[in-house]
Structure 1
């Protein structure tokens, strides 16, 4: 596992700057579709949220000019991407590498929090419920994307592998990783 006291990789400038002008409605729709497919493949993850299934989570990658509002909506999730400040029940902020690394077990969320690489604000019980739900699902977002890509699965896998190698961002779950 990477040492969380080391500097987390930042999102490369080109994709980050593209988000300054890229229309965000298609991005929001694509992420919502991805989240809904995840919900169908991992319904227990959304049930695990319990009383927080209607909470609104702001995911704020601090190295990108956008943030996301994740609304689990009891298993019919919605994702809204915005350049403006979003309102929600809880906010989780940190570099994209840290946020994705926690999902994939490459980084320990507690260590990132105590090293101040990760900031949690608002309803911390809701954040803990989200953390536990994702952790129990042992998600591998790249494997999910490949599974949803049908005949394009092989090129998607190659693109993800190349991106992961070039950026140092954990885009998939590896056996040596452990949960956050």
Structure 2
């Protein structure tokens, strides 16, 4: 399935940007923990432990903050700057997750912004590249 190059309408984005980020962030960390548990996300948690992350969905103005420890991902509610921030429009994140675009292409086309710890960013980018999305319910749903 091809994801069109669209951005969310401004009115929808303004509504989404005002909603609390905890529910979608909780969904994100729950998904990451489940993918890790099922060995779909081949992560060495010792490389991520002690770091904070932010996924900024630009066109929805949503900031999803989470941390990692040696065993799992958790919602982060601290006001400090994250160690690593990934920012893109929703369609670009979807393209990356469905492997229509790889993170490098999005980055070099300035559709994915990676800010913060460079070494941590490389670890996360390589981790995203290594995920077998065909083993996830999302991929099976998108194939219908």
Secondary structure (helix, strand or coil) at the match of 1:69 reads: strand
- 2:109: which partner in 1? 115
What is the aligned partner in structure 1 of residue 19 from structure 2? Answer: 22
TM-score, normalised to structure 1's length?
Answer: 0.61
* Residue 97 (1) aligns with residue 94 (2): no
Larger CA Rg, structure 1 vs 2:
1
Match of 1:72 among 68, 72, 89: 68
Q: For the residues of structure 1 that align with 2:77 and 2:95, how far apart are their CA atoms?
A: 20
Q: Structure 2 stretches of 5 or more lacking a match?
A: none
Q: Is the aligned partner of 1:129 residue 2:126?
A: no
Q: What's the counterpart of residue 52 of structure 1?
A: 48
Change (3 A) 1:110 1:35: closer
Matches within 5 A, 1:132-171: 132-139=126-133, 143=137, 157=141
Question: In the superposition, relative to structure 1, how do residues 145 and 79 fare at CA in structure 2: closer, same or farther (>3 Å)?
Answer: farther
Higher strand share: 2
Mark the CA change 1:71 to 1:114 in structure 2 (over 3 Å): closer, same or farther.
same
TM-score by length of 2: 0.74
- Could you tell me whether the CA contact under 8 Å between 1:8 and 1:97 is conserved in 2? yes
Contact 1:94 1:117 in 2 (8 A): yes
The SS at the match of 1:60 is strand
| Partner SS, residue 107 of structure 1 | coil
TM-aligned CA distance change 1:111 to 1:145, over 3 Å: closer
Structure 1 unmatched runs, 5+: 147-156, 158-171, 175-180
* Structure 2: distance between partners of 1:73 and 1:80: 12
**What's the offset of the Cα at 1:13?**
5.0
Aligned partners of 1:60 and 1:91 also within 8 Å: yes
In structure 2, C-alpha distance between the alignment counterparts of 1:122 and 1:30, rounded to whole Å: 24
Off by >6 Å, runs of 4+ in structure 1: none
Q: Is 1:62 aligned to residue 58 of structure 2?
A: yes
Q: What is the number of equivalent residue pairs in this alignment?
A: 142
